[in-house]
Amino acid sequence: MTSATGENFESLDDMIIRTAESTAANVRAARAGIGAVIFGQEAVVERTLITLLSGGHGLLVGVPGLAKTKLVETLGVVLGLDARRVQFTPDLMPSDILGAEVLEESAGGRRSFRFIPGPVFAQLLMADEINRASPRTQSALLQSMQEGHVTVAGVRHDLPKPFHVLATQNPLEQEGTYPLPEAQLDRFLMEIDVDYPDRDSERKILFDTTSAEETKPRAVMTAEELAAAQRLVRRLPVGESVVEAILTLVRSARPGSEAGDLSKFISWGPGPRASQSLMLAVRARALLDGRYAPSIDDVVALAEPVLKHRMALTFAARADGETVPGVIAKLAKRIG
């Protein structure tokens, strides 16, 4: 190769690095913007941003009053997304989410069907208390979450891009709820636990939300910039040691010889979609931290939220006091 060609390659690398630096700065600014409104939930904000940067969907699990709804609303504003909210109830129908065809009559007397899009045609859909709707209604989201389009009356309708679902779930009130089936849980890149804030954060919440002027979120990124960040995440290099760590972790979370002595605790485990999710999530976490390649520490840090909803323990394991997070922690120690 000539030196001129070498210089062209160097300038291309420099351009990629500048793009990555700019994108990482935008993402960190978005995290700061969300943190100015949502107090005491730094881990939740980080994992939610990682989910969106990975192009995935998130399941937020927590008791009422922990700002899950406010977090999604804030994300929509800060990231410049068209956000909509659906309150899931037992009488909610699939057409209430997807939309429906209506019969119209023109001035000339000709009748035709017209499709009226439902709230799923948004860039950020909040499915509030998703487990309160019937399985029939829950299944309306399966195609949209995995394939980015819906089919109504045999006609395909593409969803806007980017498209994300952030669903909330209350772990306490289980009466009158319909647990999400494993196939739908697997479509969520992460299960994000929303815990109580610490004392100092709750003090900030008291003053900010009860004063005359409440802090309002402001737009930091646009939908186009988020889409560009998602493309960049997929281009970040991943070392062989990190790939092996992901494969070892996910495969050992399944019943069988690779789980070793923990196999007796595992009833069923994660499929290949878990490996894909973890591969994207560790890249997104690295970008969020201003790094351009993930490490094994990223795999360990994200093992629980990526795997927890994709595996179950045997009855004997639960009777002995074992938990899914506990088993995942033991598996993660093997690679970290």
What are the Cα distances from residue 47, in Å, to 94, 138, 173, 180, 192? 29, 24, 25, 21, 7
In the predicted structure, residue 248 carries a pLDDT above the cut 80: yes
Distance CA 268, CA 313 (A): 7
Q: What is the CATH number of the domain that holds 143?
A: 3.40.50.300
User: Are residues 271 and 153 located together in one domain of the fold?
Assistant: no
Q: Are residues 27 and 162 in the same domain?
A: yes
pTM comes to: 0.87
Range of the domain at 292: 236-335
- Contact between 21 and 153 under an 8 Å Cβ cutoff? The reply is no
Report pLDDT digits (tens) over 272-292.
999 999 999 999 999 988 888
Asked if residue 284 and residue 273 are part of one domain, the reply reads yes
Residues 243, 313 share a domain? yes
Number of compact structural domains in the chain:
2
Phi, psi of 44 (to 5 degrees): -65, -45
- How confident is the model over 200-236, as pLDDT tens digits? 888 888 888 787 777 788 888 899 999 989 999 998 8
| Among 305, 297, 279, residue whose Cα is nearest residue 333 | 297
3-class SS of residue 99: strand
Does the pLDDT of residue 174 top 70, yes or no?
A: no
The tokens for 158 are 């593409």
Q: Last residue of a domain, which of 234, 259, 285?
A: 234
- Looking at the structure, do residues 79 and 187 belong to the same domain, yes or no? yes
